Structure 1
């Protein structure tokens, strides 16, 4: 049985999207979706008025940034299913049913993959390449290849949202959602979706600046999700630096030149690198134990719920 329209909230974060928000809302309303929620980042071009006129519920976010808007919106939604997409007209409402279908089949989270079949001109070669690099880095750091972790087209169950601990305030929010989904072992389904060229509105993304922030977020969040990667990378860099310096010291020694301070620095770098790597190994062991304990507690909780239902 398909998910009922009244059980779905269409969440649209916006910032100066007056050119696209009205047709976007109208398309969803024509498809039978009545719960359309626009969380606006204090637009100055009439986006709020246009969205309200089109029949959406509109709330102005209290802070700044896309992440802040999404986190605030999640706390205000009561419907059991949420379909989220950007308000810039790049995502197609016609993909809504395909995005929601996996939730009806037991998935916790659905990601709309833009990269498989995006329209010509929708992404520059630089952006397309950058997205693939970020997806690979995410796999190295968090152990899952989700094909398009930066996609703004996503579907959630209300229950799965309650398990996500989200804090990012900017465009890094999609990355944090992907990290939390993997960390909490949620069932994820990736669906190829259409991605259209922006209809005349300027992009708010800066490839290099925002790309750096996203990569930094992937690495920073690995401290909890994958400590071996986080500490191991630091340890490897220190060990390699110590090794290269050691090669120079040995070469100089063969030339009858003693480099005592450099020798001490070499030993310290290698020892520090190995110790930090050991911290990563220990952290990984503790994390594995925590995950096993969490799984056992989940099984116990499920058994208790089954027993409770039988008694009722």
Structure 2
């Protein structure tokens, strides 16, 4: 099986300078990037490191990921957001799980031996929302197989054939939970493994919690009525 590493970026110069030098590119059959319009030198830096950068065709995280699959020349891909938040060595864990027969793999911050950046706090609204969405997706769509609890983590991988079968929409920014919900509907063989999340090295999240939460709940309602 061939596996590609797809970087998703939008003004992540600091994170890229931290993560990219640590990546052993020989462990992947393709290493490339989908960029959302960076103006901070991210694109130029990645190209200086020998990484092919494609400008995403339309705005939105869903489109960035769809483009990532369209540019993938391998059997499977790993989405990785180089923000300095996830241990680089975890990107190498996907290949073995793909070769074991899993079509959908998620690096989880919500299971035993994992760590979420809110775990040191008493009040954990972001983590609780993710777990709540995981429970909702499970109740509504899961009929068999493993549960994916980290429904909103972009650190994940899938076989290209499976991704195309799921017919991911442009209901932005549904991509992470949509991959989970659709994997339940299509009975995709799936698994998650623990990873350790740290605070991002620089910049702010592109997805504000309240507004994003409302959009994701609207997506769930839409998916419930979706045909196919």
**What TM-score, normalized by structure 2, do the two folds share?**
0.88
Aligned-pair distance for 1:212? Answer: 1.1
CA 1:97–1:29 in structure 2 vs 1: closer, same or farther (change >3 Å)? closer
Between Structure 1 and Structure 2, the one with more strand by share is 2
CA distance in 1, matches of 2:119, 2:82: 15
Query: Residues 122 and 30 from structure 1, CA distance in 2 versus in 1: closer, same or farther, beyond 3 angstroms?
Result: farther
How far has the Cα of 1:115 moved from its partner?
2.1
Aligned equivalent of 1:42: 37
Quick one: distance in 2 between partners of 1:72 and 1:169? Answer: 15
Partner residue of 2:108 out of 113, 116, 119: 113
- Go from structure 1 to structure 2 and tell me whether the alpha carbon gap of 1:159 and 1:14 turns closer, same or farther (over 3 Å shift): same
2:132 aligns with: 133
Larger Rg: 1
Deviations 1:60-92 (A, max 9, x none): 112101111111121111111211121222222
Q: Does the 8 Å contact 1:25/1:36 carry over to 2?
A: no
Gaps of 5+ in 2: none
Let me know the Cα RMSD of the aligned residues.
2.1
Contact map agreement 2:110 2:116 (CA 8 A) in 1:
no
Q: CA deviation at 1:100?
A: 2.5
CA distance in 2, matches of 1:51, 1:122: 32
CA contact (8 A) 1:83 1:100 kept: no
| Corresponding residue for residue 101 of structure 1 | 96
Q: Deviations over 1:22-59 (max 9, x none)?
A: 33222223664362111000111111111111221100
Query: Hey, what's the Cα distance between the residues in 2 that align with 1:155 and 1:222?
Result: 24
5+ residue gaps, structure 1, are: 226-286, 288-312
Q: Partners of 1:68 and 1:220 in 2: how far apart?
A: 18
- Of the three residues 166, 171, 191, the one matched with 1:164 is 166
Partner of 1:189: 191
**Higher RCO (C-alpha under 8 Å, 6+ residues apart):** 2
Report the alpha carbon displacement of residue 104 of structure 1 after superposing the two structures with TM.
0.5
For residues 65 and 120 of structure 2, what CA distance do their matches in structure 1 show? 24
Q: Which moved more, 1:199-208 or 1:136-145?
A: 136-145
Counterpart of 2:61 in structure 1 is: 66
Which one has a larger percent helix, Structure 1 or Structure 2? Answer: 1
Give 1:112 shift: 1.1
User: Aligned ranges for residues 144-159 of structure 1 at < 5 Å?
Assistant: 145-159=147-161
SS in 2 for 1:127: helix
